[in-house]
Amino acid sequence: MPAQGESGNGRVTINEVGLRDGLQNHPRRLGVAEKLELYRALRISGLHSFELTSFVSPKAVPAMADAAELVAALPPEEGVNLTALVPNRRGYARAREAGMRGIAVVLAATETLNQRNIGMSLDRAREECAAVLRQAAADGVFARAYVAAACACPYEGPTSPDTVIALAEEMLAAGADEVAIADTIGAGNPRQVATLFRSAVARCGAGCLSAHFHDTRALGVTLSWVALQEGIRKFDASIGGLGGCPFAPGASGNLATEDLVFMLEESGYRTQVDLPALMAAASLAGRLLGGQVGGRITPWYESRHRSRNIESNGTNQGQARGGD
């Protein structure tokens, strides 16, 4: 498998999910103006793929109640891909009415998580997701499908890889342009993820797959590397490591975008994302949310930045004194 940019395969796409997955369960609710400020900071970093919001019940997820207003404030921009999560056909209709040209559906790989997440049985959820995907294909709308709890379910335990891949194939057959295999609670381990993605790539092809990892057990970057070696070239991540599913106990923050970008760039892959600008966006997220956020590289990055400032100030002072 080519790695580190060999054979022209070094481009990796980051799909930023912080505005949806990162904010949906946060105790501090951002208004549209604040979300726009964060979005623009993320765009400045070079990110061009975003899961912007979700058209779910405002009662279930109040933080996403402003979905239509947020979409209206962001007219289409060439080269930028925006999707919105929709739980069913009703959500799809609302997203289309708001002007969305990209959507995502979520199908959990287990019965119980579907019941807790979207109030449907697994079979009913499969039918509903497939119906949305067929409609999106007919409308010319980009559609991705999450297969959630791909490594383990918080209610039912380990998930069968065969189940995950069968559901991925079913969603692709229904019209999904892309399937995101999601370790919703961060339960995966490197060997398990390697086996899962190797099989998924063999049966579905790498080009229509992406990976979504949580950093619950500090393995988010490691699992991304494993999936990368199996041919995956698109990953979800959330600025500052924000996020977690409100209906899945144990689903702590997502893999931090800054951690993923740092690992990829250090390893020779190309993300087209500027790390200093991304770190500035993470700092902005912390200020907007009223608390410290940030990936695992944040302490190192801030220490390095301070050291450079001290060195720069020392050099400038020396020059001002004539260098003595």
pLDDT of residue 8: 43
- The catalytic site residues sit at 245
pLDDT of residue 292: 80
Answer whether 294's CB lies under 8 Å from 286's CB: yes
Q: What is the mean pLDDT of the chain?
A: 91
Query: What mean pLDDT is predicted for residues 139-166?
Result: 97
Residues 6+ apart with CB under 8 A from 105: 85, 86, 87, 128, 129, 132, 133, 143, 144, 145, 146, 171, 176
Measured CA to CA, the distance from residue 238 to residue 293 in angstroms comes to 11
pLDDT of residue 252: 66
Condensed to tens digits (0 to 9), the pLDDT of residues 258-269 reads 999 999 999 999
Condensed to tens digits (0 to 9), the pLDDT of residues 179-219 reads 999 999 999 999 999 999 999 999 999 999 999 999 999 99
The CATH architecture annotation of domain 6-293 reads: Alpha-Beta Barrel (3.20)
Residue spans of the domains in the chain: they are: 6-293, 294-324
pLDDT of residue 277: 98
Condensed to tens digits (0 to 9), the pLDDT of residues 31-56 reads 999 999 999 999 999 999 999 999 99
Strands (E), the chain: 13-16, 49-54, 81-85, 102-108, 142-148, 152-153, 157-158, 178-183, 209-213, 234-237
What counts of helices (H) and strands (E) characterise the chain? Answer: 11, 10
pLDDT of residue 324: 45
Answer whether 145's CB lies under 8 Å from 180's CB: yes
Determine what percent of the chain is predicted with pLDDT higher than 70. 89
pLDDT of residue 230: 98
pLDDT of residue 7: 37
End-to-end CA distance of the chain: 55
Q: How many CB atoms lie within 10 A of CB 91?
A: 22
Measured CA to CA, the distance from residue 200 to residue 232 in angstroms comes to 10
Predicted confidence (pLDDT) at residue 124 exceeds the cutoff of 70: yes
Condensed to tens digits (0 to 9), the pLDDT of residues 289-324 reads 998 888 999 999 999 877 676 666 655 555 555 544
